Amino acid sequence: MLFIHPDFLWNTNLAKMIRHYDFFFYETKEALFLSEDEEQLVLQIFENINNEYHANIDPYSKHIIISQIELLLNYAKRFYGRQFITREKPSHTILEKLEFKLDGYFNQHDLTKGLPTVVDVAASLNVSPNYLSSLLKQLTGKSTQAHIHDKLIEKAKEKLILTTLSISEIAYEFGFEHPESFSKLFRAKTKQSPQKFRASFN
């Protein structure tokens, strides 16, 4: 194990960037599985840090150790990306379950209370929000929030085509307090307004 006191990172670039390593927020069950080559690479970095830690301190010591820690974190990020690809069946199973869960949520829930949150969706899939987001970005290039919005737009299109509900009524049904916010999201996703989309089917 490698323990790093927060003070050691103080006033370094890594201190500013470390929050961007999503795997710190993964759960234990979402552990990283290393190949033999990857394990040896990680152990070599640990050895480099250990050797530098026990060497005579000079003006470069801290910088070198920080660089090795950053290298370790970047490799971990790469290895997780590899894991999302190589563990194809579990990863795509989660993606399929996500689509099923979102369909169920939009078909069965009262959305006037608001859209499902990323935390809600991740909990229903029994994974952490950060792990789910990382996996989806690797597989689809989109965040969990983007998937929720895509499903919203898909259902909104159905209502625009198949019902006579006004734009405001549809917006309220999907939990938007202000119809303008719904129209803005719809336009951002489809490059046209809800009114124009509906008119194209009349």
What does the pLDDT profile of the chain (202 residues) look like in tens digits?
889 998 999 999 999 999 889 898 898 888 888 999 999 999 999 999 999 999 999 999 999 999 999 999 999 999 998 888 777 677 788 889 999 999 888 887 678 778 889 999 999 999 999 999 999 998 899 999 999 999 999 999 999 999 999 999 999 998 898 999 999 999 999 999 999 999 987 7
Same domain, 33 and 109: no
Q: Which of 53, 70, 86 represents a domain boundary (last residue)?
A: 86
Whether 76 and 46 have beta carbons less than 8 Å apart is answered as no
Cα 166 from Cα 43, distance rounded (Å): 62
Q: Please give the DSSP secondary-structure letter assigned to residue 49.
A: H
Which CATH number fits the domain that encloses residue 137?
Answer: 1.10.10.60
Residue 104 counted as domain residue: yes
Number of domains making up the chain: 2
User: What integer pLDDT is reported at residue 122 of this predicted model?
Assistant: 94
The CB-side HSE value for 12 (13 A sphere, CA atoms) comes to 16
Same domain, 39 and 97: no
User: What integer pLDDT is reported at residue 71 of this predicted model?
Assistant: 97
Same domain, 189 and 118: yes
Cα 110 from Cα 28, distance rounded (Å): 33
User: What integer pLDDT is reported at residue 115 of this predicted model?
Assistant: 85
Q: Please give the DSSP secondary-structure letter assigned to residue 87.
A: S
Q: Which of 86, 118, 136 represents a domain boundary (last residue)?
A: 86
Same domain, 114 and 41: no
User: What integer pLDDT is reported at residue 30 of this predicted model?
Assistant: 86
Same domain, 104 and 185: yes
Concatenating the DSSP letter of every residue in 123-179 gives: HHTTS-HHHHHHHHHHHHS--HHHHHHHHHHHHHHHHHHH----HHHHHHHTT-SSH
Separate counts of helices (H) and strands (E) for the chain: 11, 0
Cα 156 from Cα 83, distance rounded (Å): 35
Q: Which domain holds residue 136?
A: 89-199
Of 198, 109, 179, the closest CA to residue 148 belongs to 109
Same domain, 95 and 162: yes
